[in-house]
Structure 1
């Protein structure tokens, strides 16, 4: 997959060498609904023997158009993670457009003329709710009129499960609620975060459960407070373990939220290492124990439950 960063305006040097099937969307999380859109594009590209191109943006549209605070916004898939997911979904050309004031103020017709036609789209594929400006004048129903016969349009219907629409918003809420099992079901793969191992209070070592304290990527959503079964990728290895996202309330009130991971069957110095964490399963909520012995007893049970889950799955 070739990645092309576009700092508007799009230049001739960035045009594809031939016509493409072009998929549009922000795709935060690249969940099952997004995957259906990309798959529709891939199928059309294969049918026409054309490359599959995908155009997305460097910032979430809600930050630009919806007034969401960029400093507090949490992504489901940061830049490198999204690239990996696009590659896994068969994208050939990955265009990442930087939201500049100039780009944000393009009219719908200018967006179509400069970017969709500029990228030599033979077919444009997007989800039913894709917009390219104000919803009432820049929606999928109006795209064929802006196209003026220069490319075909494929609109992909919404994907639902037994509850409701599969969406980034719903996935984000599931993670905030500590329901990583539902989030993984919506995503169609295991949710992953990354971070760096830093020094903590080293209390776990004295209890027989040494932990790697993770300084998580501040732009990425960490699952809500709770105890989880996880896998950690570090130095070319994948190790099972259990994670605590919480305030360590047994040892005091009003403590900061930390991410601590106890790895199974692992030895070695992890400080300073960059790691990825796969969030597999929610075990339980955070509990304030009456003392160290009660906490250690629960940790042994958590370890057994985690090992049982890893063995089964």
Structure 2
């Protein structure tokens, strides 16, 4: 996949013709996938490369609507997903206040036409240009036969629209299986293994303490069954997300994972963690012995979940 970092105004003018899907695509959920898949279908019809246009940083950060925005899929993760979907070209437009202030017509003439776009695919709620006054119909109004426009209607799941906001709310509620259904894959994040209190090894359950690499969408505190990927290998594990109230008075969220059948030094390494199941909320125990007994119960829950998943090919 070719990746182009685009600054407005664009100085380069020798871009190859393509069909592109446009959007921020946080989550790359089933609705986003529908937009991107249609772009690839259109590209095949026209015998052109299939591309995606996305934006960085998040528009709300630039426009002062929020601080650092928590994301379901940060840019690097999105790029990997785009590549898996067969995307040939990715245009990453640097979102600035100057870019945000351009008119819809300028976006079309100075971006789409400059990039030699022959087909555009967007979601029904896509907006662009100063104050978001441009919409899918605006794209059609200004096309003048130079490019085609496909507008994708929303995707519904159990009567509700599939959206990034809905997925964030589900993550905050610990509803892992529903998130998987809307994403079409397990929710995952990347974290670097750092030194912690090393309490886990003293009670027989060593843990890897993670420092998240990006501002990921917050997930519900508690204990999860997870799949941990490290150097091409996968392991099951238990992850506790929260404040560790039994052994810690500080209100600082930590991510600790006990990896099954694993005894290697991985400090400084990056792990990919997939959420498989939410087991329980975080509990403050009276003593360490109660904590140890609960961990044993959690491990039993993990094995029960695994056996059920294998039986049902989950």
TM-score relative to the length of structure 1:
0.93
1:266 Cα deviation (Å)? 0.6
Report the counterpart of residue 15 of structure 2 in structure 1.
Answer: 16
CA–CA separation in structure 2 for the residues paired with 1:70 and 1:275: 26
In structure 1, the gaps of 5 or more residues are none
1:230 Cα deviation (Å)? 0.6
Q: Is 1:3–2:19 an aligned residue pair?
A: no
1:306 Cα deviation (Å)? 1.3
CA–CA separation in structure 1 for the residues paired with 2:247 and 2:126: 48
Residues 163 and 244 from structure 1, CA distance in 2 versus in 1: closer, same or farther, beyond 3 angstroms? Answer: farther
Report the counterpart of residue 271 of structure 2 in structure 1.
Answer: 275
Report the counterpart of residue 141 of structure 2 in structure 1.
Answer: 145
CA–CA separation in structure 2 for the residues paired with 1:228 and 1:128: 35
Coordinate RMSD, CA, aligned: 1.7
In structure 2, the gaps of 5 or more residues are none
Report the counterpart of residue 60 of structure 2 in structure 1.
Answer: 62
1:307 Cα deviation (Å)? 2.5
Q: Is 1:158–2:133 an aligned residue pair?
A: no
Which SS does the other structure have where 2:127 is aligned?
coil
C-alpha contact 1:193 1:222 (8 A) present in aligned 2: no
Which SS does the other structure have where 2:157 is aligned?
coil
Q: Is 1:47–2:19 an aligned residue pair?
A: no
Q: Is 1:287–2:283 an aligned residue pair?
A: yes
Residues 111 and 131 from structure 1, CA distance in 2 versus in 1: closer, same or farther, beyond 3 angstroms? Answer: same
Q: Is 1:32–2:5 an aligned residue pair?
A: no
TM-score relative to the length of structure 2:
0.93
Which SS does the other structure have where 2:234 is aligned?
strand
C-alpha contact 1:180 1:223 (8 A) present in aligned 2: no
Deviation larger for 141-150 or 200-209: 141-150
1:293 Cα deviation (Å)? 2.0
Which SS does the other structure have where 1:251 is aligned?
coil
How many matched pairs? 309
C-alpha contact 2:101 2:131 (8 A) present in aligned 1: no
State which of 231, 242, 248 in structure 2 corresponds to 1:246: 242
Report the counterpart of residue 224 of structure 1 in structure 2.
Answer: 220
Give a deviation string over 1:69-106, Cα, whole Å, max 9, x none. Answer: 233x1111112111000011121100001012321111
Report the counterpart of residue 194 of structure 2 in structure 1.
Answer: 198
Report the counterpart of residue 132 of structure 1 in structure 2.
Answer: 128
CA–CA separation in structure 2 for the residues paired with 1:69 and 1:291: 41
CA–CA separation in structure 1 for the residues paired with 2:134 and 2:257: 46
CA–CA separation in structure 2 for the residues paired with 1:101 and 1:60: 12
CA–CA separation in structure 1 for the residues paired with 2:214 and 2:150: 36
Report the counterpart of residue 295 of structure 2 in structure 1.
Answer: 299
Which SS does the other structure have where 1:189 is aligned?
coil
Report the counterpart of residue 93 of structure 1 in structure 2.
Answer: 89
Give a deviation string over 1:117-161, Cα, whole Å, max 9, x none. Answer: 112122110000001125773011222112223211100000110
C-alpha contact 1:20 1:51 (8 A) present in aligned 2: yes
1:222 Cα deviation (Å)? 4.0
CA–CA separation in structure 2 for the residues paired with 1:308 and 1:267: 23
